[in-house]
Amino acid sequence: MDIQQELNKLEEMLLDSPRLPLSRWTLVDEEQLLDQLDLLRIHLPSAFQDAKDIIRNKEEILLEAENYAQDIVEAAERRAAEILDEMGLIRQAELEARQIRQQIQQECDVIHEQTMREVEQLRHQIQQEAEDMRMMAIAECEEIQRGADDYADRVLRDMEQQMADMIRVIRNGRQQLQLDPPSGHPPHSAGEGRSHR
């Protein structure tokens, strides 16, 4: 799975979502957003596993190279001993073999250090990308939540104002009825019930 591609999808989802008029808030499909985050959360371990596999493969290649070099050195030493034993040059062969071994060891050390630097850079990059994605997702969710709360508060405030206006109209109407009873009928007292038909 391409983590960068899935992050781009998440960004497109946020950019393509409708915006609330006259505000910076964006309406996002919560289920779709959570599904995308779950998808990333599921595949992040595999991305880390891929990195571990790369590290393991590099270490295996390095080990194979070291073993191969060791085999070459040992074969060279055996061959040199066989050839130079009768010529009295065994010391020279041993010296050359040690030099070859040291040279190969130095080359292996350089390869090992280079590999470890690359692995560390890759691990740091993956961790940074995962942390950036997590922080971005948290920030987006918090922003969406704040926008939803503000919108709900405005709607409830408007409803409260409308209900207060309606109650004021009703009270004014009742007061008007009590002050202006119909002609020919005395005003009803507060405790008087309606007559039964």
- Determine, yes or no, domain membership for 4: no
- Residue 84: what pLDDT? 67
- Residue 185: what pLDDT? 53
How buried is 97 (Cβ within 10 angstroms: 0-12 exposed, 13-18 middle, 19+ buried)? middle
Which range of residues forms the domain containing residue 116? 29-179
Output the tens digit of pLDDT for each of the chain's 197 residues: 577 787 888 888 888 888 888 888 888 888 888 888 888 888 777 766 777 777 777 777 778 888 888 889 888 888 877 776 766 766 777 788 889 989 999 998 999 899 999 988 888 888 888 888 888 888 887 888 888 888 889 999 999 999 999 999 999 999 999 887 665 555 554 444 444 43
- Residue 100: what pLDDT? 93
- Residue 136: what pLDDT? 84
- Residue 169: what pLDDT? 93
- Determine, yes or no, domain membership for 114: yes
**Sign of the Cα pseudo-torsion (126, 132, 133, 134, in order):** positive
Inter-helix orientation angle 90-179/30-84, to 10°: 180
- Determine, yes or no, domain membership for 18: no
Whole-model pTM: value is: 0.32
- Determine, yes or no, domain membership for 22: no
- Determine, yes or no, domain membership for 10: no
How many Cβ atoms are within 10 Å of 34's Cβ, its own excluded? 14
Looking at the 3D structure of the chain, how many domains does it have?
Answer: 1
How buried is 111 (Cβ within 10 angstroms: 0-12 exposed, 13-18 middle, 19+ buried)? middle
- Residue 28: what pLDDT? 83
Tokens found for residue 92? 């020279």
- Determine, yes or no, domain membership for 76: yes
- Determine, yes or no, domain membership for 127: yes
- Determine, yes or no, domain membership for 105: yes
